[in-house]
């Protein structure tokens, strides 16, 4: 069943900022990429690296895994470079009255 989860006010996640949220045992990274918010599972598909501790490139809208450097597209969750070759889950983001919300199944 899909659940809508409140994350924070949009003003509390400025462009270039990211945060980790936990929902039902699932860790999700929420990223403000030059004004657009994206959410992906915070677990690198290569070896479980914590993606929110990586380097965010707002222009390319990618996150670099801090463990071995795989780059992921925040829009699709797909890896753009090795050593990761499997995508990570993405979550739809809703901006409602300046509140960031996620759709989580």
Task: Catalog residues that contact ligand FES under the rule CB under 6 A.
Answer: 44, 46-47, 49, 65, 67-70, 83-84
What is the smallest separation between the CB atom of 101 and ligand FES, expressed in angstroms? 27
Closest CA to 44 of 7, 20, 78, 93: 78
- The answer to whether the beta carbons of residues 99 and 4 sit under 8 Å apart is no
What is the smallest separation between the CB atom of 89 and ligand FES, expressed in angstroms? 15
Closest CA to 77 of 86, 68, 67: 86
What is the smallest separation between the CB atom of 50 and ligand FES, expressed in angstroms? 9
Torsion, CA 9, CA 88, CA 69, CA 23, rounded to 10 = 40
Nearer to ligand FES, 20 or 34 (CB): 20
Nearer to ligand FES, 85 or 95 (CB): 85
């Amino acid at each position: 069943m899909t659940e809508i989860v409140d994350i924070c006010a949009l003003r509390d996640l400025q462009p270039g900022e990211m945060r980790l949220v936990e929902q039902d045992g699932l860790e999700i990274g929420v990223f403000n990429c030059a004004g657009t918010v994206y959410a992906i599972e915070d677990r690198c598909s290569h070896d479980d690296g914590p993606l929110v501790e990586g380097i965010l490139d707002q222009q390319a809208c990618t996150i670099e895994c801090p463990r071995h450097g795989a780059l992921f597209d925040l829009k699709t969750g797909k890896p753009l470079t090795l050593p990761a070759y499997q995508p990570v889950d993405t979550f739809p983001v809703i901006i409602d009255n300046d509140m960031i919300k996620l759709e989580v199944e």
